[in-house]
């Protein structure tokens, strides 16, 4: 083996040299890669955090329609009818409704956007998974029939739908369908209404009126009455106050619900990824719209335990020393702090 003995000495150092080269290049690769990486992540992070509201991932969505083929045909028919009732309530159950005249002409979908499937658009994702549940407003365990009728009697300022009616069964079948993949007891990300951070100051109807004139009035009108569709049966732009709007007992009459709803859904076209209102604008709009006249409701049986009234429930008596005025318009921070201390 002449080769190995004669060139052994010169092969060894060149092997070391090669090893060194590999190590050096590995080192530079790592350093540059590191450098590069930190550069690009910095660039990404400014892109992402410049608009924190678009930084939502893994937001829940409704099951796709094609999966309905796994339902029994009667069940599927109910689900589809239920969705139709949510989207076009007034055609069936409004003042000129083809089934029964029991509500004010609004559609459930006016507030539960895209038939209750829009993330943070007051969707129904967590209804099947969390009902029946105890609700402090009634002081009782409520099932879905009761909850749906709450909206008929308050949000649609109308009358309850019989539990055994085809319409109620259809609405419940649709709600069940939307909850198909949601585990019992869970509220998936994007459920219901967004909880907007509170302001330090009291919310301000005067400021809200200015925002309303520039960003809402074109559709909902200066007198808040909305615009009826040509058939006169439903609204192109639903009313925000006045005789045809939701009543004092409705969920949207609470400032936090109104502010959270409009922040991620109004003006029309805004959503959680492209909000158009600042937090202050959303709160001040709530103050303005909910200071205008609307139908009343006997609320004497609500909140049997007054200590459970939410901070923004505007009707006394209260367990705390704050006025109705402060409960309605804030500042809410002292009210929440008091409640925290007296738990
Ligand atoms: C004027 C707006 C408005 C209309 C119209 C409306 N709702 Fe609601 N609904 C709300 C608000 C706001 C809430 C949440 C209230 C809360 O959390 O305090 C709600 C809550 C609900 C819930 C419970 C959701 C949950 O996750 O707990 C159901 C079910 C429901 N509505 C069904 C309906 C049905 C069915 C209709 C039509 C017959 C309807 N709503 C019409 C505003 C409305
Ligand atoms: C381009 C027209 C348009 C503008 C502008 C607009 N909205 Fe709406 N708004 C609608 C429509 C349409 C609906 C019903 C959505 C549906 O049925 O899918 C609605 C629904 C609502 C609802 C729930 C239903 C009700 O009548 O109570 C509220 C609250 C609301 N809008 C508040 C506002 C506020 C506050 C502004 C201003 C920031 C605003 N909207 C601007 C078109 C508009």
308-324 confidence digits (pLDDT tens): 999 999 999 999 999 99
| 65-178 and 205-341 share one fold | yes
Helix (H, G, I), strand (E, B) or coil at 192: coil
Range scoring the smallest mean pLDDT among 13-27, 272-286, 309-323:
13-27
Residue 37 has pLDDT above 50, yes or no: no
Q: What is the pLDDT of residue 109?
A: 98
Q: Give me ligand 1 centre to Cα 112, in Å.
A: 7
Q: What is the pLDDT of residue 30?
A: 56
Continuous H helices in the chain: 2-49, 73-87, 89-93, 108-111, 113-116, 127-130, 144-153, 166-178, 205-215, 217-220, 255-265, 279-289, 324-329, 333-341
Token readout for 342 is: 């007296």
pLDDT in tens, 280-337: 999 999 999 999 999 999 999 999 999 999 999 999 999 999 999 999 999 999 999 9
Q: At what angle do helices 166-178 and 73-87 cross, to 10 degrees?
A: 100
Residue 78 has pLDDT above 60, yes or no: yes
Q: Is the CB of 89 under 6 A from ligand 1?
A: yes
Provide CB contacts within 8 A for 291, sequence distance 6+. Answer: 205
Residue 185 has pLDDT above 60, yes or no: yes
Average pLDDT estimate for 94-107: 97
Continuous H helices in 133-165: 144-153
Over the chain, what is the mean pLDDT? 90
Q: Of the candidates 60, 89, 77, 86, which has an alpha carbon nearest to the alpha carbon of residue 180?
A: 60
Q: Are 88 and 234 in contact (CB under 8 A)?
A: yes
Q: Give me ligand 2 centre to Cα 14, in Å.
A: 77
Token readout for 173 is: 């079948």
Q: What is the pLDDT of residue 10?
A: 61
Q: Is the CB of 151 under 6 A from ligand 2?
A: no
Bridge partners of 270, per DSSP, are 268
Give the integer Cα–Cα distance in Å for 74 and 97.
24
Q: Of the candidates 146, 149, 119, which has an alpha carbon nearest to the alpha carbon of residue 133?
A: 146
Q: What is the pLDDT of residue 53?
A: 53
- Chain centre distance of CA 203: 21
Q: Is the CB of 110 under 6 A from ligand 2?
A: yes
Neighbour-count burial for 119-150, b at 16+ CB within 10 Å, e otherwise: bbbbbbbbbbbbbeeebebeeeebebbbbbbb
Domain assignments of the chain as residue spans, ordered by start = 65-178, 205-341
Range scoring the smallest mean pLDDT among 45-54, 144-153, 185-194, 231-240:
45-54
Q: Is the CB of 93 under 6 A from ligand 1?
A: no
Q: Is the CB of 247 under 6 A from ligand 2?
A: no
| pLDDT band, very low/low/confident/very high, at 22 (cuts 50, 70, 90) | confident
| pLDDT band, very low/low/confident/very high, at 35 (cuts 50, 70, 90) | very low
Residue whose CA lies nearest to ligand 1 atom number 8: 151
Average pLDDT estimate for 234-245: 97
Instruction: Provide the CATH number for the domain formed by 65-178 in this structure.
Output: 1.10.760.10
Longest dimension (CA), the chain: 109
Q: What is the pLDDT of residue 226?
A: 98
Give the integer Cα–Cα distance in Å for 78 and 171.
8
Give the integer Cα–Cα distance in Å for 255 and 111.
15
Residue whose CA lies nearest to ligand 2 atom number 17: 110
Give the integer Cα–Cα distance in Å for 258 and 30.
52
Average pLDDT estimate for 88-109: 97
Average pLDDT estimate for 159-172: 98
DSSP 206-229: HHHHHHHHHHTHHHH-TTS--EE-
What fold, for 205-341? Cytochrome Bc1 Complex; Chain D, domain 2 (1.10.760)
Helix (H) or strand (E) holding 237: strand 235-237
Residue 163 has pLDDT above 60, yes or no: yes
Residue whose CA lies nearest to ligand 1 atom number 14: 251
| pLDDT band, very low/low/confident/very high, at 184 (cuts 50, 70, 90) | very high
Q: Is the CB of 239 under 6 A from ligand 2?
A: yes
Q: Is the CB of 285 under 6 A from ligand 2?
A: yes
Please indicate whether residue 19 or residue 63 has the higher confidence score (pLDDT): 63
């Amino acid at each position: 083996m002449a080769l190995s003995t004669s060139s052994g000495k010169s092969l060894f150092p060149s092997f070391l040299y090669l090893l060194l080269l590999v190590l050096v290049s590995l080192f530079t690769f790592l350093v540059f890669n590191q450098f590069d990486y930190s550069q690009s992540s910095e660039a990404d992070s400014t892109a992402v955090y410049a608009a924190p509201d678009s930084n939502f991932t893994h937001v829940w969505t409704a099951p796709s329609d094609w999966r309905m083929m796994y339902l029994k045909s009667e069940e599927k028919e109910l689900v589809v009818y239920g969705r139709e009732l949510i989207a076009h309530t007034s055609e069936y159950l409004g003042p000129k409704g083809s089934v029964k005249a029991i509500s004010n002409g609004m559609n459930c979908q006016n507030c539960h956007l895209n038939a209750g499937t829009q993330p943070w658009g007051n969707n129904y994702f967590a209804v099947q998974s969390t009902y029946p549940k105890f609700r402090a407003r009634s002081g009782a365990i409520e099932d879905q029939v009761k909850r749906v009728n709450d909206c008929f009697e308050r949000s649609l300022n109308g009358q309850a739908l019989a539990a055994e009616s085809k319409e109620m069964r259809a609405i419940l079948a649709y709600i069940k369908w939307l909850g198909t993949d949601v585990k019992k007891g869970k509220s998936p990300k994007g459920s219901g209404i967004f909880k907007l951070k509170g302001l330090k100051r009291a919310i301000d109807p005067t400021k809200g009126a200015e925002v309303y004139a520039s960003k809402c009035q074109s559709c909902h009108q200066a007198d808040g009455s909305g615009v009826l569709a040509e058939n006169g049966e439903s609204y192109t732009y639903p009313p925000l106050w006045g005789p045809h709007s939701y009543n004092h007992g409705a969920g949207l009459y609470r400032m936090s619900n109104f502010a959270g709803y409009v922040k991620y859904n109004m003006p029309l076209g805004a959503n959680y990824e492209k909000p158009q209102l600042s937090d202050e604008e959303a709160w001040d709009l709530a103050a303005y719209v909910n200071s205008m006249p609307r139908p009343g409701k006997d609320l004497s049986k609500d909140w049997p335990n007054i200590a459970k009234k939410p901070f923004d429930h505007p009707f006394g008596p209260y367990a705390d020393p704050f006025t109705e005025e402060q409960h309605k318009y804030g500042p809410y921070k002292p009210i929440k702090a008091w409640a925290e201390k007296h738990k």
